[in-house]
Structure 1
Amino acid sequence: MHFLDSCAVMADKVEEAICGLAGDPRAGAVVGMGADGTPTKYIDKVAEDIIFGYLRDHGLCSGAISEEAGRCDMPSGEGTVIVDPIDGTSNAISGIPYYALSIAREIDGHPEEAFIRDLAHHETFTALRGRGAWLDGRPIRVSETCRLDKATVSLYGRRYQPESLLGLGKRIRRWRLLGASALELAYVGAGRIDAFVDLRGSLRITDAAAGMLICREAGGLISGTDNTGIRYSGDVREGARLVATNGLLHAEIIGTLEGYHEN
């Protein structure tokens, strides 16, 4: 079975397992502390147990990374699988229908395959390095918006530094904050939003790995706020600032953020 087909099987299992949990107080019960240093919620643990169990049983990788479990060895298989079992946990707990399963596989340090399942709407975004990106099997492409005053941007900043957002926020047409980073990166790839900008410095590899590949393969451009490449070590405690755009808006957005990475 192809890796992405296996991801679809895992996603179906997760969907079935959590269908009664979204919006239920049980979903938000703290059941431990994740490797990323944040509390693990019950809904995350349910989804992660399904994914890790399937990976072990089917020999899909030699290692896996999750924000709950951290880096784990697997008994057999090729490459490293990077998982966010529930991207948008707070949305899921609150019953807001915008949360996803995010899975990427790296081989020899290169992201090769990506899979994101919108668990609330049963949409599936996929990508293969060098071959393209798809939504439910149909090719996707970034938007052609070339002016900030026409752009819809998902924009995140530090909670106590709202001024960091104002320079860019004043120039865009629509400001969104949807609460599920992997899915928002996929939305850039699908042309649903024009850019995703996260200035918090806390975006982890588990949040971003699959979404970055989907966005790039759909024609998008990704960098740090200083317009250099994004590099993750695999440590789930490590975060980054990230700018993902349709490419046409990238230079202008980076220009509005000049100097921010030094703060």
Structure 2
Amino acid sequence: MNKDFFSACDAMAKSVEESIRDLVGTPEGGKTVKMGADLTPTKLIDQVAEDCVISYLRDNPLCSLLISEEAGKVEFDGGNGTIFLDPVDGTFNAIAGIPFFALSVAYAEEGVVRKAYVRNLSSGETFTAEKGHYARCNGKSIRVSDLANLDECAMSVYSRKFDPGRVLLLGQKIRRWRLFGASALELCYVGNGRIDGFIDLRETLRVTDAAAGMLVCSEAGGKVTDLNGKAIRFPNEVTVGRCLVATNGILHHKVIEYLR
């Protein structure tokens, strides 16, 4: 890359924060402007944020291919690798004025995510990770929790339209449910030990939602898999969703067993 990835992400985050500031918590920010590449409605706040990042990448080529929720695939000259982007992860929160929404950026080479950046656009708290090296929050090393008992843990658990179905037994066992509404940040919260697991059974989680948070979680000692406990693979396509289980690692086998 021609420029340090994390410095570039800081610059993009600053631009996004400034551009959406007047849209956060407003009906204007929630206006539908088009149908996105992910086949869901694009809100004005999403479009404005994404336009900022694309404009930056045209002037500062960090990748040869961008995959983003709204624009889909965008090619660039002069860069290498692929960036997976969610310009506003937690759009509902942003529109409602709930301070839990993020810019999520992951950089991959040869199909492997190497670097990750997730910034809470409301608080400025920033998670970074580099594969095989570290996971950090605001520059300080982070680590998953060491809880080993489900009846003591807190987990974020999503099921399709809140049909308990597959999560009923697990839901009766864990101590606390927490649904924050921004998957990239929730994966980072597992990595930081704030919650002990993040489970999404909706089959709607896309590579742009999860790529950066997954690396932060795993580099902090967590484990991220599919519902069978196997390595999860996302296609480079924003119309395809997956289910995902992320935990502190210690609880992983127990969670998978309950989900079965």
Q: TM tier, shorter chain? A: over 0.9
* Residue equivalent to 2:14: 12
* Residue equivalent to 1:115: 117
AA matched with 2:125 = E
Aligned-pair distance for 1:160? 6.0
| 1:196 equivalent in alignment to 2:182 | no
The answer (yes or no) to whether the contact 2:68–2:208 under 8 Å persists in 1 is: yes
Secondary structure of the residue aligned to 2:9 is helix
Q: What is the 5 A alignment of 1:1-263?
A: 1-159=3-161, 161-258=163-260
**What RMSD, in angstroms, separates the aligned Cα atoms of the two structures?**
0.8
The answer (yes or no) to whether the contact 2:93–2:99 under 8 Å persists in 1 is: yes
Unaligned runs of 5+ in 1: 259-263
TM-score under structure 1 length normalisation: 0.97
State how far apart, in whole Å, the 1-side matches of 2:61 and 2:68 are.
17
The answer (yes or no) to whether the contact 2:167–2:258 under 8 Å persists in 1 is: no
User: Do the aligned partners of residues 136 and 160 (structure 1) sit closer, same or farther apart at CA in structure 2, a change above 3 Å counting?
Assistant: closer
State how far apart, in whole Å, the 2-side matches of 1:167 and 1:237 are.
30
Runs (4+) off by over 4 Å = none
Quick check: 163-172 or 123-132, which moved more? 163-172
State how far apart, in whole Å, the 2-side matches of 1:13 and 1:245 are.
33
AA matched with 2:89 = D
Quick check: 162-171 or 240-249, which moved more? 162-171
State how far apart, in whole Å, the 1-side matches of 2:232 and 2:167 are.
20
The answer (yes or no) to whether the contact 2:63–2:81 under 8 Å persists in 1 is: yes
State how far apart, in whole Å, the 1-side matches of 2:249 and 2:209 are.
21
Size of the aligned set, in residue pairs, is 258
Unaligned runs of 5+ in 2: none
State how far apart, in whole Å, the 1-side matches of 2:212 and 2:221 are.
15
